[in-house]
């Protein structure tokens, strides 16, 4: 049970779940937690609570520090706790970590993927800055919906499918438990070496974009940026 004095404060990430479409309101900034070491995310803001997930200090592909969006904060017995979005299954799950385990910062970037419109919209400081047409998941392997984030931005060599960048998301496929040894991780990546026509739904769940578009994203979007995927 939480201390009676604990006050839960929702952060701007709560807005991420309110799927913006068209002229929808988008939060101007997002609080982020950069992990300082491996840590356990707990089901409640209390030492000894059951684990909600386990998070390494660094991401597995690039080795960059793990950055998690903060969805709420609270103080328990004088200690600040952060409720963060976690990577992996179940999709969009959250956990509590102590603020002392992280460095806090913010981002003004936010991405919204509209599966029905098959478009990717990019916001900065609450304003729409770019919209890209995209390939999304086909009906048998749909792109999952929910509140996610960019786990890491991965530069890809020229002969890799999806080059030149993949924005690896915290989302995992609801249809594929694994994919060629991988965990069914969803990414925004290019169409090079894999194909697809933007505006169609033919992928295994990833979101594919034209080379110029994914290049722009790869050069602007870093870890922790919230990604909302809506139907």
Partner 1 sequence: MTAGSLLVAPLALSAQAPVGLGTAGGFAVLAGSTVTNTGPSVISGSVGLAPGSAITGFPPGIVLNGTMQVANGVALQAKNDLVTAYNDAAGRSSTETVAADLAGETLTPGVYTSASSLGLSGQLTLDAQGNPAAVFVFQAGSTLIVGSGSQVNLIGGAQACNVFWQVGSSATLGTGSAFVGNILALTSITMTTGATLQGSVLARNGAVTLDTNTITRATCAAGTPTTTTTTTTTSGGGGTTQSVTGATGPIGPLTHKKPKHHKPKTLKPATPSAIKHPKPKPVTPKPVIPTKASPPAFTG
| Distance, C-alpha 88 to centroid of its chain | 10
Q: What is the 8-class DSSP label of residue 163? A: T
Contact 194, 208 (CB under 8 A): yes
What is the helix (H) or strand (E) element at residue 104, kind and residue range? Answer: strand 102-107
Tokens of 158: 């020229």
Residue 78 lies near partner 1 (rule: CB under 8 A): no
Tokens of 217: 């994203």
Among 13, 59, 92, 118, binds partner 1 (CB under 8 A): 59
* Shortest Å, Cβ 14 to partner 1: 21
Residue 173 lies near partner 1 (rule: CB under 8 A): yes
Among 206, 214, 217, 227, binds partner 1 (CB under 8 A): 206
Nearer to partner 1, 119 or 172 (CB): 172
**What is the total count of residues that contact partner 1 (CB under 8 A)?**
80
Stretch that binds partner 1, among 4-12, 17-25, 115-123, 147-155 (CB under 8 A): 147-155
Q: Give the CB-side neighbour count of residue 85, counting CA atoms within 13 A.
A: 34
Tokens of 66: 């793990």
**Residues within window 1-30 making contact with partner 1, judged by CB under 8 A:** none
* Shortest Å, Cβ 136 to partner 1: 12
**Residues within window 79-138 making contact with partner 1, judged by CB under 8 A:** 87-89, 97-109, 137
Stretch that binds partner 1, among 3-11, 15-23, 32-40, 110-118 (CB under 8 A): 32-40
Q: What is the C-alpha to C-alpha distance for residues 113 and 126, in angstroms, rounded to an integer?
A: 15
Contact 70, 13 (CB under 8 A): yes
* Shortest Å, Cβ 129 to partner 1: 13
Among 27, 72, 122, 186, binds partner 1 (CB under 8 A): 186
Contact 11, 5 (CB under 8 A): no
Among 20, 190, 224, 226, binds partner 1 (CB under 8 A): 224
Contact 71, 8 (CB under 8 A): no
């Amino acid at each position: 049970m939480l201390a009676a004095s604990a006050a839960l404060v929702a952060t701007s990430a709560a807005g991420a779940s309110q799927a913006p479409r068209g002229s929808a309101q988008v939060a101007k900034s997002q609080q982020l937690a950069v992990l300082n070491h491996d840590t356990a995310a707990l089901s409640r803001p209390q030492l000894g609570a059951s684990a909600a997930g386990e998070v390494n200090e660094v991401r597995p592909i690039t080795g960059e520090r793990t950055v998690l969006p903060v969805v709420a904060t609270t103080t328990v017995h004088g200690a600040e706790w952060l409720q963060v979005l976690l990577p992996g299954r179940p999709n969009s799950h959250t956990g509590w970590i102590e603020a002392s385990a992280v460095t806090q910062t913010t981002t003004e970037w936010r991405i919204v993927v509209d599966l029905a419109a098959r478009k990717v919209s990019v916001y900065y400081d609450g304003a729409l800055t770019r919209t890209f047409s995209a390939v999304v998941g086909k009906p048998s392997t749909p792109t999952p919906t929910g509140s996610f984030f960019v786990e890491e931005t991965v530069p890809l060599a020229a002969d890799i499918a999806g080059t030149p960048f993949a924005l690896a998301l915290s989302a995992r496929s609801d249809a594929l438990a694994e994919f060629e040894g991988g965990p069914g991780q969803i990414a925004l990546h290019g169409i090079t070496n894999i194909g697809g026509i933007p505006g169609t739904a033919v992928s295994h769940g990833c979101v594919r974009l034209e080379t110029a578009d994914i290049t722009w994203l790869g050069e602007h979007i870093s870890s922790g940026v919230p990604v909302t995927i809506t139907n």
